[in-house]
Structure 1
Amino acid sequence: MSEPRKPFFKMRYLLIFIAIFLLNFIQLPYYYSQPGIAQELEDVISVEGTNGIEEGGFMLTTIELAKATPMYYAWSFFSSYRHIIPEEQVRGADETDSDYHERQSLLMSNSQEMAKIAAYEHADADVTYEYHGVLITTLMEGMPAVEKLEVGDLVTAINGEPVHTAEDLLDLLSGYAEDDQVELLIVRDGETIEVELGFSEFPEEYNVEDGRVGLGILSPITDRDVTYSPNVTIDETEIGGPSAGLMYSLEIYNQLVPEDITHGYLIAGTGTINDEGIVGPIGGASQKVVAADKAGAVYFFAPNVGGGQGETNYEEAKAAAEDIGTEMQVIPVESLEDALLFLEELSDQES
């Protein structure tokens, strides 16, 4: 009678455990993304004295993002709606997980503020402002700003010109050559500091046209106190980033005006927004179409502006809708006004 081969079986189970561990827990220098959720906003946003008659609903859409493991990496090859993204395209070289999540939260907070302003301005509701300057949220590696500026710095003037908004900052930094210098007035830890900076060409990975120069300030945020009447609140959410701006604006606007602009339809979408109601590009448009379709949306608003690889978010979303065979209609928009004009033409959905 032969002896039991216990050592062999133990070694086999050990190897299986090691393989599972390597496939599921070893992190690669990539991020993995896939379609996320479509979340209705009526229960998230509250305007005092809301009309309370929303028969349909506006939905933000998301993608799920996580550090890639070998298992995720392999899994991405089985669907065109699962993406692998190089780590440097998601966060800076010296940015920790905590820094990244804090930046995403800040971008979401700023997006909500701009969405409120755009909606209130379009609805002729009362909104007032007190400006403080522009916050630095991200600095590009290899650019001049990273040497002298810090995340959290508040820029208040450039060459003596006051800076109130992020648009002011970008306008005042445009049109310079590589051998030019500018002087920034910043507030850091309560102290006002003058900083002199030069310009350089952007790193190749940022896909900026040849010859264009800058300081290396990315995603600046307007720092201001804004008062709304009637008051509006948006519940805290774990969703980060600025891409829900358009849909926030539409829900807020719908609660401000007397009629229900959903006309009984579930309407999803994506797109950043500024306080003038201009819609900007986002990432993951095709994945968000999948999320919206699963949630039963009838219409999907997509920014008709560049989304990467030379195509607009609308073109990307339209191709995805055709690929998955959804009956949901993808609607191109460049502004909040475009979305409102489309909604005005809708007839009420039959019960």
Structure 2
Amino acid sequence: MSRRVLTLLLAGFFVLALGVVGAFRPVPYVVLSPGPTENTIGDIDKKPVISISGRQTYPTSGALSLVTVAYQGGPAAQIDLLTALRGWIDPTVAVVPQETIFPPGRDAKKVDEENAVEMTNSQDSAKAAALNELKIPYERVVTVLSTEQGKPADGKLQKGDQINSVDGKPATDSQFVGDTVKAHKPGETVTFNVTRGSQKLDVSLQPIASKDGKPLVGVLMQEKFKFPFDVTINVGDVGGPSAGLMFSLGILDKLTPGEITGGKRIAGTGTIDTEGQVGPIGGIAQKMVGARDSGATVFLTPADNCAEAMKAVPEGLRLVKADTLHDAVLALDALRTGKGIVPACEAG
């Protein structure tokens, strides 16, 4: 064998070896794929996803399924280059930069904790939105979920404190509390009136500047509602706020005569606020694949996700635009009865 051929063979071997080694090196990307679906008017592990006591309920049929996105990767379990390459050629998944899911300073545990909080808040907002749709009154309170160590609220506000007012103005919701704090300059005093146990207390805090210069006190809040009857939601390990719309529809279906699905398998997604406004979500392409794989033929889509969804809608899945909970109810009525307008998504 000539020296030249030997050199070429050795060079080729080293290139191949480097390629193999490189393929298994960790890369800062996350793979998003279709996650499980859960029927909000069905059961998980023989337990109802939505349980209602203290109020008359009615039979349901079909499915009102929430959809999820599963992810692979993250700071503590980075994927390798080969996994990322497989994801890039698979049309049912997405490969995104790691910081999209895990911004700097937020590890997997922190993200999971935040997703759990968002899910709890989403469930409460969904209950409130459903009751608003049915014109059933309820009370709303803002409570302290936790405080950040070393921040102004640390040691002064406590988990479970009910925030009654900020600077003398009623704390109508967590957004109002946050906006009132942000209206101050760092170092100025902001006064919280809270109920702690049987006591009402005034707590004075001096906000500090965050990294982007905005004032903060370091408190994580949760909106709680006092409903006239019990609504319990059981979804296991699912996190995040994107199932709000489907929770509200499931509650409505159980509280009203008739079956709003018409026996069809309906899936959908979208955040929801207490007034029933449906907001956009991430991972719409993967969620539609999961919906179609579960047998759904109709997919309720937030209006702001419609253009993106139209580019990747699976065959056999009808997209129905949902701006509000009320719009979604009307659309399902029209689908069931064949009367009225079913708002469709349009390409952007």
Shorter-normalised TM range: 0.7 to 0.9
Instruction: Select the residue among 36, 55, 58 that pairs with 1:51.
Output: 58
Counterpart of 1:194, as a letter, is S
1:153-192 paired onto structure 2 within 5 Å: 156=163, 157-172=165-180, 183=190, 185=192
Instruction: Select the residue among 56, 64, 70 that pairs with 1:64.
Output: 70
Other-structure match for 1:226 = 226
Counterpart of 2:51, as a letter, is S
Deviations, residues 157-184 of structure 1 (Å, cap 9, x unaligned)? 444433241232355357x598895625
CA RMSD of aligned residues (A): 3.7
Other-structure match for 1:297 = 296
Aligned residues: 301
Aligned CA distance change for structure 1 residues 278 and 232 (closer, same or farther; 3 Å): same
Q: Secondary structure at the match of 1:296?
A: coil
Q: Distance in 1 between matches of 2:218 and 2:253?
A: 32
TM-score between the two structures when normalised by the length of structure 2: 0.73
Q: Distance in 2 between matches of 1:102 and 1:340?
A: 32
Deviations, residues 8-28 of structure 1 (Å, cap 9, x unaligned)? xxxxxxx99xx69983xx654
Q: Distance in 1 between matches of 2:234 and 2:329?
A: 24
Other-structure match for 2:330 = 341
Other-structure match for 1:317 = 309
Counterpart of 2:267, as a letter, is A
Deviations, residues 304-350 of structure 1 (Å, cap 9, x unaligned)? 1xxxxxxx3111112211xx4x121111111101101111212359x
Counterpart of 2:293, as a letter, is K
Is residue 104 of structure 2 the alignment partner of residue 93 of structure 1? yes
Q: Distance in 2 between matches of 1:338 and 1:79?
A: 34
Q: Distance in 2 between matches of 1:257 and 1:75?
A: 47
Is residue 198 of structure 2 the alignment partner of residue 194 of structure 1? no
Q: Distance in 2 between matches of 1:289 and 1:90?
A: 20
Instruction: Select the residue among 113, 119, 125 that pairs with 2:124.
Output: 113
Q: Distance in 1 between matches of 2:221 and 2:244?
A: 14
Q: Secondary structure at the match of 2:207?
A: strand
Q: Distance in 1 between matches of 2:214 and 2:162?
A: 16
Other-structure match for 2:4 = none
Cα displacement (A) at 1:129? 2.2
Cα displacement (A) at 1:155? 8.6
Q: Secondary structure at the match of 1:243?
A: coil
Q: Secondary structure at the match of 1:346?
A: helix
Q: Secondary structure at the match of 1:247?
A: helix
TM-score between the two structures when normalised by the length of structure 1: 0.72
Counterpart of 1:74, as a letter, is L
Alignment identity in percent?
28
Deviations, residues 56-115 of structure 1 (Å, cap 9, x unaligned)? 210000111121411332222112432223333323433343332222111111111111
Instruction: Select the residue among 63, 82, 105 that pairs with 2:93.
Output: 82
**Does the 8 A contact of 1:134 with 1:165 survive in 2?**
no
Counterpart of 1:66, as a letter, is Q
Cα displacement (A) at 1:291? 0.9
Aligned CA distance change for structure 1 residues 173 and 195 (closer, same or farther; 3 Å): closer
Deviations, residues 138-173 of structure 1 (Å, cap 9, x unaligned)? x8xxxxx99545698769344443324123235535
Counterpart of 1:222, as a letter, is Q
1:12-31 paired onto structure 2 within 5 Å: 23=24, 27-31=26-30
Cα displacement (A) at 1:300? 0.6
**Does the 8 A contact of 1:268 with 1:297 survive in 2?**
yes
Q: Distance in 1 between matches of 2:153 and 2:287?
A: 35
Counterpart of 1:98, as a letter, is K
Q: Distance in 1 between matches of 2:319 and 2:273?
A: 22
1:133-172 paired onto structure 2 within 5 Å: 133=143, 135=145, 148=152, 156=163, 157-172=165-180
Q: Distance in 1 between matches of 2:319 and 2:191?
A: 43
Cα displacement (A) at 1:192? 6.5
Is residue 110 of structure 2 the alignment partner of residue 104 of structure 1? no
Gaps of 5+ in 1: 1-14, 140-144, 203-212, 305-311
Q: Distance in 2 between matches of 1:169 and 1:61?
A: 31
Other-structure match for 1:328 = 317
